[in-house]
Structure 1
Amino acid sequence: MKVLTFSLTGVLLLCPPAFANSNTELLVQGVITPSACAPVVSGGGIVDFGKVSVKDLNTHTYTDLPRETMLLSVRCDGPTFFTLNTIDNRPGTAASHFSWHGLGTTANDEKVGDAGLGLYNPVADNVSVRTITSRDGGTTWMPSVMLSHTLLTAVANNDDVTPIAIQELDAEIRLITHIAPANDLTLTDEVPIDGHATVQVNYL
């Protein structure tokens, strides 16, 4: 997550010497926020299921891997209105839920599975709060624990659904992971479980 970003754009034209007065444009853009926030996930954000044997996979239904929990902390310079979302770095490979995160594909381009994330037991500035989500860019909100690339997640007071400004957030990220039915996968060689997602902070 970058607090101050620069976008440098331009076009270089190759012209004969007679047209030496040709020019190009340079555009510098960015947003300076009043306070910056940094997200951190425990364990470096790595969940390693090790080797999963083919014989342990369901033949015709999805196989649930053991559920894992990580800790998420967000620290801001001061009270800040922000949302969280994810970027699925394996886009298009989610096998069962469009809002979950893909686990890559086999050599035959078969979807290995997917993983869903949820935020639980959120505490903001040492006070218990609730998580809320929006599917329309923050126009409307509803109580939900989802953390996804398809929606925005914020925190609110326990009796409300309006985002609040906070400086510190601590919560559990609970991970649900499914492997596709064995009959849908070519498993003659080892297949990596290759999920990768980025947690992103957005300022309201």
Structure 2
Amino acid sequence: MKKSVLTLAALLSLATANAMAATTDLSVTGTITPAACTPTLSNGGVVDYGVQSLSNLEETSTTYKLPAKSLNFAIECSAPAAIAVIANDNRRESAGPNPWLFGLGMYEDQPIGIYYMHWDDEETLIDGGSGMNLISRDAGNTWDSHRTATLVDAGRGPDERISFSNQTVSSPTAVTSVTMNMNVTGHINKDLSFNDNVTLDGSATIEIVYL
């Protein structure tokens, strides 16, 4: 009898605990798209400044300006899709506070300089026709047209993304191909002190997101 009483008490205790258990909900969300979009950059995505002498670079009040460079930036989709472009700076520690400026790496704990990536409407083609750049600074909730699009480091700046329109609407257009001439503008910090060659080490990841 004593064993039966102990067993009954254990069962009652367990039932009471189950009745008072807290709960939480799990939600599974997301979007499945039939399209796959692939970005590519000419020259393997390498902007090569070669060997530059400071004495040959254009001087500003705070920097030495590197020669203008550009790459062809293309996006190809397997089916029409509304897309946007974002970027992440892989050398963020050398870039400073401005999210539009990407870092060129460090030299003996000193930031070497910065660069930024941009393109104009005139350089944007959508499915072979003229395109328009759209900018959203609220993760794609609202869009504004901009003649010049400048990539922002997603890890430091506003939740900004760049999309495209065929110039007939002010919201992103579903596209199968986008091409533009992406300009890269770089600057070396004028107060950088060095007595040896400095190797530029800029690196960024450009990503396609689906809207």
If the length of structure 2 is used for normalisation, what is the TM-score?
0.75
The AA in structure 2 aligned to 1:165 is A
Report if aligned partners of 2:74, 2:178 keep a CA contact under 8 Å in 1: yes
- Is it true that 1:134 corresponds to 2:136 in the alignment? yes
**CA distance change for structure 1 residues 123 and 59 in 2, over 3 Å: closer, same or farther?**
closer
Per-residue deviation, 1:42? 0.6
State the Cα deviation string for residues 8-28 of structure 1 (Å, max 9, x = none). xxxxxxxxxxxxxxxxxxxxx
Indicate the residue corresponding to 1:23 in structure 2: none
| Maintained 8 Å contact 2:129/2:166 | no
Equivalent residue, structure 2, for 1:26: none
Output the CA distance in 1 between the equivalents of 2:138 and 2:110: 31
Give the Cα separation in 1 of the matches to 2:106 and 2:69: 22
What whole-Å deviation, never above 9, does each CA across 1:100-139 have from its counterpart, x for those lacking one?
A: 21101111x1111111111231111111011111121112
For residue 111 of structure 1, what is the aligned residue in structure 2?
111
Could you say which structure has the higher helix fraction? 2
What's the offset of the Cα at 1:166? Answer: 0.5
- What amino acid is aligned across from residue 175 of structure 1 in structure 2? V
Q: Which runs of 5+ in 2 are unaligned?
A: 1-28
Partner of 1:192: 199
Residues 159-178 of structure 1: pairs in structure 2 closer than 5 A:
159-178=168-187
Q: Are 2:75 and 1:66 aligned?
A: no
Structure 1 Cα separation of the partners of residues 36 and 74 of structure 2: 14
Q: 1:64 to 1:123 in 2, by over 3 A?
A: same
CA contact (8 A) 1:119 1:146 kept: yes
CA–CA distance in 1 between the matches of 2:79 and 2:127? 11
Note closer, same or farther for the CA distance 1:93–1:125 as it changes in structure 2 (3 Å cut).
Answer: same
Aligned to 2:150: 146
What is the SS of the residue equivalent to 1:92? helix
Gap runs ≥5 in structure 1:
1-28
Point out the more displaced range, 57-66 or 164-173.
57-66
Measured against aligned partners, the alpha-carbon deviations of 1:148-186 in whole angstroms (never above 9, x if no partner) come to 2242000013254311110111111011111111xx212
Higher Cα Rg, which structure: 2
Q: Quick one: percent identity of the two aligned structures?
A: 31
Measured after TM superposition, the shift of residue 95 of structure 1 is 4.7
Q: Using the alignment, how far apart are the partners of 1:163 and 1:59 within structure 2?
A: 38
CA contact (8 A) 1:95 1:113 kept: no
Letter in 2 for 1:125: D
So what's the TM-score if we normalise by structure 1?
Answer: 0.77
Q: Number of residue pairs matched?
A: 173
